[in-house]
Amino acid sequence: MHNEELAAIAKKLVTPPKGILAIDESTETCTKRFEKLGIESTEENRRAYRELLITTPLIEQYVSGMIMVDETIRQHTKEGKPFLEILKEKGMEAGIKVDGGLEQFGNSPIEKITKGLEGLPERLREYKSLGITFAKWRAVYFIKNNLPSDELIAESTIRLVKYAKMCQEAGIVPIVEPEVLMTGEHTLEQTEKVISDVLDVLFIRLAQQNIFMPGLLLKTGMVVPGDKVEKATPEEVRDATLRCLGDYVPKNIGGVVLLSGGLDEESATIYLNALHNTGDLPWPLTFSYGRAIQNPALTLWAKDMSGVGEAQKALLERAQANSKASVGEYI
C-alpha cells in the first residue's frame, strides 16, 4: 500500500492541466526580494504575503500543490485558520522544502553543495504527521570553465538519492531538483551537456538504490543558454530539453516538473507550451514555478499591501497561463 500511496500523490501533482506553485523561498531569499521592492522582511509580512498566495480564490483550478518552507506550514491566516487546513480544503497537496541550503564544496571558491541530511528522517516523520505529502531537495550546478566538477556531481547525487530514500520510507513523495543555473555566458549546447551529465549519474544511482520511480518527481530546468548570451527560440529550447529528458529519464517516473530558474514570466510559459506541441510525451510534464507565477502579484502587493485582491488576480492569471501551457494551449 505504501508505494501505491506514493504513486497516487505523484500522479495527482502532475495531472493535467495543473502544476506546482513553489512558495518555498528561504527567509534570506524572501528578504532580498522584499527589500528590492521596499517591503520590510518581518515574519508578519512574510506570513501576510503567503496568506495572499494560499488563499487566492480558484488557484486550485490550476495548481495541484504548493511547496513551502518550515515557517509557512506552521502559520495561519489573520483570522487564525492554519494554512495547511486551507490547502486541504482546496484539494491541494502540501509540500515542504527540506534541504538546509548551500555551503561551500571542498576548496572550490565557486561550487556549492546542499546540506540538510542530518536529522532528516525525524523531520520527515513530523511533516508527515502534519499532513505534508511531498518534499523537495535542490542541488545547484554552475557552468563555468570546467565546472561543474565530476566530484560535485557525484556528491550532490549521493545526497539527492539519500534524501529520496528517506522521503519514500516516510511515505512522502520526493522531488529531486538538480538545478543547472542560468547565470553565465554558456551556450545552449553547453547547458544540454551538463544537464545530460547530471541526469545520467542521478538516474543510475536512483536505480541502484531501488528508489520507487512512480513515487518520485524530477524537477529540472529547461535547456536554455546562459543569461549573458542571446536567448534561444522556443523550438530550440524544446528540442534540446526533450533530447535531454528523453535520453535519461525513465518512462515509469511519476513525472517531470520544470523550474523557471530566472526566466522571465512570458518565456517560462512559452517554452513550457512549446514542449507540449510535439505530440505525446513519455512522462507527465508540467510546471513547478515560483517567481514566474508570483512576480506580478508580489510587485502589485508591494505597491499597496492592502490591495490583496488585485495581487491575487495577477497570480491567478499567471497560474492559468501556465496551466494552459502545460497542455499546449497557451496562445
Catalytic annotation, pick one of 51, 177, 192, 265: 177
CA distance linking residue 306 with residue 328, whole number of Å: 35
Rg of the chain over Cα atoms, rounded to whole angstroms, equals 19
Q: Which residue has the cell 541550503?
A: 101
d(CA 323, CA 17): 5
Report the amino acid identity of residue 1: M
Q: Which segments within the chain are labelled E, that is strand?
A: 19-22, 63-68, 93-97, 102-104, 112-114, 134-141, 173-180, 217-221, 255-259, 285-289
Q: Residues 112, 219, 265, 324: which is the catalytic one?
A: 219
Cα separation, 318 vs 264, whole angstroms: 12
Backbone angles phi, psi at 114, to 5 degrees: -90, 135
Q: Tell me the C-alpha distance between 66 and 289, whole Å.
A: 10
The answer to whether residue 165 is catalytic is no
Active site residues: 177, 219
